[in-house]
Chain A
Amino acid sequence: MLALEVRDLVVEVDGRRVLDGLNLEVPKGELHVLFGPNGSGKTSLILTILGLPQYKVLRGQIILNGEDITFLPINERVKRGIGVLFQNPPQIKGVRLGDVLKKLAKDETPMEIARKVNFPAFYLDRELNCGFSGGEIRRCELTQLMAQKPSFLLLDEPDSGVDVENLELVGSIINELAKGRSGILITHLGYILRYVEAQRAHVILNGKIACSGRPIEILDHILREGYWWCDKCKEMRGD
């Protein structure tokens, strides 16, 4: 049974094509890794699945748990289990982390959640994403996901800007969030894979999936040969 199925997705932003016939399947209970060079369309895929209106779907379908969600509003998708860790979340002045967590959390206090990411209590008083460091932004995003408990995770570079001490922490939180659930995890340099279990990996190039395989093997190739290898691999497959 598939948790997510993306069929032949073509997406434009500001008249610019960012996804170009992308196909992807994530079976229930699996976490898939998405690699790809800067600007290849990773974030675009996540934000299209979330349903940001500026990502215009020209063709194709997004199917979540068997239901076509391609044209649902954002919060309807979220109701059906989508949860996003944003790569570049906006600063929202006056809206405080603690207040958001209080509204979201079902069986934990904001304080308990904050403690899990090593946030001191006064961080609950901080305005969303205002003045946070890169690593703090990831952890702030994670607190919200912990409160949301989504059934399908979209994690956009949760390891970027996270220092070594916190990488393991972030990894273990992702493992816990992903336990028994499904999702997509974008990582640029793959650091987080030391701590996170993922079943499969895909490389996205120019708005489509160029190749797929076991996460460790693909990462290994990329780190040794760069994304150039993926292009070659595509040629070898005769795409």
Chain B
Amino acid sequence: MINVRRCGVTKMNEAREEEIRERALKALDKKADYGPDIDLSSFVRSPERLEVKGLDDLPSGVREQAVMVGVRPDMKERAGTYFQLDHSVLFSGVSKYFDGGVEFISTIEAKKRYDWFSKYLWRAVQVDTDKYTAFAALEWDHGYFLRVAAGKKVTVPLQSCLYIYRDKLDQNVHNVILMEPSSEAQIISGCVVHPNVSRALHVGITEIYLMKGAKLTFTMIHNWAEGIDVRPRTGIILEDGATFISNYINLKPVGSVQTYPAAYCNGENSTAVFNSLIYGDKGSVIDVGGKIILEGKGSKGEVKSRVIATTNAKVYSRGLLVGKREKTRGHLECRGLLLSDQAFIHAIPELRGETSGTELSHEAAVGKIAEEAIYYLMARGFSEEEAVSMIVRGFLDTRIFGLPEPLQREVDHAIDIVLSSSL
């Protein structure tokens, strides 16, 4: 009986996999709606494998860089860790305390382990969205599968680090998060690149499923570098009463980042929040935002961004709220601070109401630092540079994230380090 069923599932999986493959192949040349177009063939797909035994054995400098994106290689005060370097999983595991209630493994491993796993692939993100999703489907380099069991509250953060070590690498990760009913977790996800890397492409597919009453806080710190192109593709599906909070921090120069994650608030009274802090510098093209589709009755959405652009950075800050059902509410807030006349910030807040029972609003403001604020701080004895850096640091205020205190301190510390090197 069980065998027959398994066989049926496998057949279904095979058919779906074939379909996904075909759709991917057709989309391989499909340009993305936003962001500079990238030539996928110009990257290395088969890096030599680095012999690293574990996190104690990381190449020099990698540990320090991991810490800067909130990842602790010592795994202290972390419920679980996933560490991927290039195309290899260096470590994945859960601390003993949360064993059984939390699973944190490679998605390729998860697919081998569970028949049902495939149904969570390419459902919150469409495989033929663009060439990057297509590419990631055809060339899949792990990524993590996080599952938190029903009712389990994971009180300490989980952490993941996606690291690019080899020059000219293409890294396509595919992450899946499954939050079972009434589970709670926070994950801090850091992306870093080795200083010797001059060019690389990171494609990150992340599909997040929040079942009834589940809550996930997803904090991502990007520390890329000039010459690195980044194309995250994220979809979140929320059931009744679920809450998703995304905190995105990008403070280091980058070639280009383009991402427009979408949260589908299908469940009644579900909530999605996208917060972002962005410091665009040195020719970076940063095109980020958040879409929230308020489909469930009483669902709520919020998109909040703080953007700084300096030198010759180009920053697009997008937001889209779609109110489809009654008693839905959403607010978009974008604040931009321009520190250079060669840079720009383009705020594109969009609202789409499809029923009279939805309440959507937005506010957006882009400007330079108010001179009087600088003079005020100078009147307290600070130099002009100190005043500017205090205002900039204040503008990138992590308190909008509502993180738990210890994590907030770590994130603040990471921001302080990055900002002190760029200001």
Are A78 and B391 CB-contacts (below 8 A) given A90-B370, A90-B372, A90-B373?
A: no
B394–A74 touching, CB < 8 Å: no
Q: What are the interface flags for B92-112 relative to A under an 8 Å C-beta threshold, 1 for contact and 0 otherwise?
A: 000000000000000000000
Q: What B residues does A193 contact at CB under 8 A?
A: none
Q: Are A74 and B375 in contact (CB under 8 A)?
A: yes
- Residue interface bits B392-412, CB-to-A below 8 A is 1, else 0: 011111000000000000000
CA–CA, A75 and B388, complex, Å: 13
B373 contacts which chain A residues (CB < 8 A)? 90, 92
Decide: A92 and B391 in contact? CB cutoff 8 A.
Answer: yes
B64 at the interface (CB under 8 A from A): no
Contact B375 A93 (CB under 8 A): no
Docked CA distance A73–B376 (Å):
13
Shortest CB-to-CB span from A4 to chain B, Å, is 16
Q: Which chain A positions have C-beta within 8 A of B390?
A: 95, 99-100
The distance in angstroms between the C-alpha atoms of A86 and B382, with both chains bound, is 16
The closest CB in chain A to the CB of B398 belongs to A94
Q: How far is the CB of A183 from chain B (nearest CB, A)?
A: 14
Which residue, of B376, B378, B379, B395, has the highest number of chain A Cβ atoms within 10 A? B379
Give which listed residue, B370, B378, B380, B397, contacts A73 with CB less than 8 A: B378
Q: Could you tell me the distance in whole angstroms from the C-beta of B24 to the nearest C-beta in chain A?
A: 44
Chain B 35-63 per-residue mask, 1 if CB under 8 angstroms from chain A, else 0: 00000000000000000000000000000
CB-nearest residue of chain A to B382: A75
A89 lies within 8 A of B381 (CB):
no
Cβ of B380: which chain A residues have Cβ within 8 Å of it?
78, 100, 104, 144, 148
| Contact indicator A90/B376 (Cβ below 8 Å) | yes
Residue interface bits A128-139, CB-to-B below 8 A is 1, else 0: 100000000000
- Most B-side CB within 10 Å, residue of A53, A83, A90: A90
Chain B: minimal CB distance from A155 (Å) = 13
With both beta carbons as reference points, the residue of chain B lying nearest to A50 in the complex is identified as B379
Closest approach, in angstroms, between the C-beta of B361 and any C-beta of chain A? 19
Shortest A177–chain B CB gap in Å is: 15
List the A residue with the shortest CB-CB distance to B395: A94
Given the complex, which residues of B lie within 8 Å of A5, measured CB to CB?
none
- A12–B176 Cα distance when bound, in Å, is 64
Given the complex, which residues of A lie within 8 Å of B372, measured CB to CB?
90
Nearest chain A residue, comparing its CB with the CB of B387: A75
Chain A 65-98 interface 0/1 with B at a Cβ cutoff of 8 Å (1 = within): 0000000011100110011101001101111100
Q: Is B340 an interface residue (CB 8 A)?
A: no
Chain B interface residue number, banded: 20 to 34
Chain B hits for A78, CB < 8 A: 378-381
Interface check B383, CB cutoff 8 A: yes
Shortest CB–CB separation between residue A110 and chain B, in angstroms? 13
Q: Tell yes or no: A52 within 8 A of B by CB.
A: yes
Of A84, A89, A93, A103, which contacts B394 at CB under 8 A? A93
- The CB with the most chain A CB atoms within 10 A, among B373, B376, B384, B396, is that of B376
Q: Judge whether B377 is part of the interface by a CB distance below 8 angstroms.
A: yes
A127 adjacent to chain B (CB < 8 Å)? yes
Hey, which chain A residues are within 8 Å of B382, CB to CB? 75, 103
Q: How far is the CB of B304 from chain A (nearest CB, A)?
A: 13
- For the complex formed, measure the closest distance between the CB of B308 and the CB atoms of chain A, giving whole angstroms: 11
A148 vs B100: C-alpha distance in the bound complex, in angstroms? 56
- The answer on a CB contact under 8 Å between A94 and B383 is no
- Given known contacts A75-B384, A90-B370, A84 and B395 CB-to-CB distance under 8 angstroms: no
Q: Pick the contact of A96 from B370, B379, B383, B394 — CB < 8 Å?
A: B394
**B392 vs chain A, min Cβ distance (A):** 9
For residue B381, which residue of chain A has the nearest CB?
A78
Taken together as a complex, chains A and B put the C-alpha atoms of A73 and B377 apart, in Å, by 13
Q: Is there contact, CB below 8 Å, between B397 and A94?
A: yes
B375 contact set on A, CB distance < 8 A: 52-53, 74
Known interface pairs A93-B397, A94-B393; A86-B376 also in contact (CB < 8 Å): yes
What are the residues of chain B within 8 A of A82 when measuring CB–CB?
A: 379
Highest count of chain B CB atoms <10 Å: which of A82, A90, A94: A94
Q: A92 touching B394 by the CB < 8 A rule?
A: yes
A148–B376 Cα gap in the complex (Å)? 13
Q: Give A127 to B384 CA distance when docked, in angstroms.
A: 20
Contact of B376 among A83, A92, A94, A96 (CB under 8 A): A92
- Docked Cα-Cα span, A83 to B384, in Å, equals 17
Q: Give the nearest-CB partner of B306 in chain A.
A: A94
Q: How far is the CA of A2 from the CA of B395 in the complex (A)?
A: 42
Note all chain B residues with C-beta closer than 8 A to A94.
Answer: 391, 393-397
Residues of B within 8 A of A95 (CB): 377, 390-391, 393-394
Complex-state Cα separation, A103 to B373, whole angstroms: 17
Residues on B with C-beta less than 8 A from A86 are 376, 379
Chain B contacts for A100, CB-based, 8 A: 377, 380, 390
Measured between beta carbons, the chain A residues less than 8 angstroms from B396 are 94
Q: A43 → chain B, closest Cβ, in Å?
A: 13
Q: Would you give the shortest CB distance from A147 to chain B, in whole angstroms?
A: 8
Q: Residues 85-126 of chain A: 1 if any B CB is under 8 Å from the residue's CB, otherwise 0?
A: 010011011111001100110000000000000000000000
13 contacts between A and B (CB under 8 A): A74-B379, A75-B381, A78-B378, A78-B380, A83-B379, A84-B379, A90-B370, A90-B372, A93-B395, A94-B395, A95-B391, A95-B393, A128-B376
Chain B residues with a Cβ under 8 A of chain A? 370, 372-373, 375-384, 390-391, 393-397
Closest 3 CB pairs of A and B: A94-B394, A95-B394, A94-B397
Query: Which of A's residues lie within 8 Å of B, judged by CB?
Result: 50, 52-53, 73-75, 78-79, 82-84, 86, 89-90, 92-96, 99-100, 103-104, 127-128, 144, 148
Q: A75-B383, A94-B397 are in contact. List 9 more A-B contacts (CB 8 A).
A: A75-B382, A82-B379, A92-B391, A92-B394, A93-B395, A94-B394, A95-B394, A100-B377, A128-B376
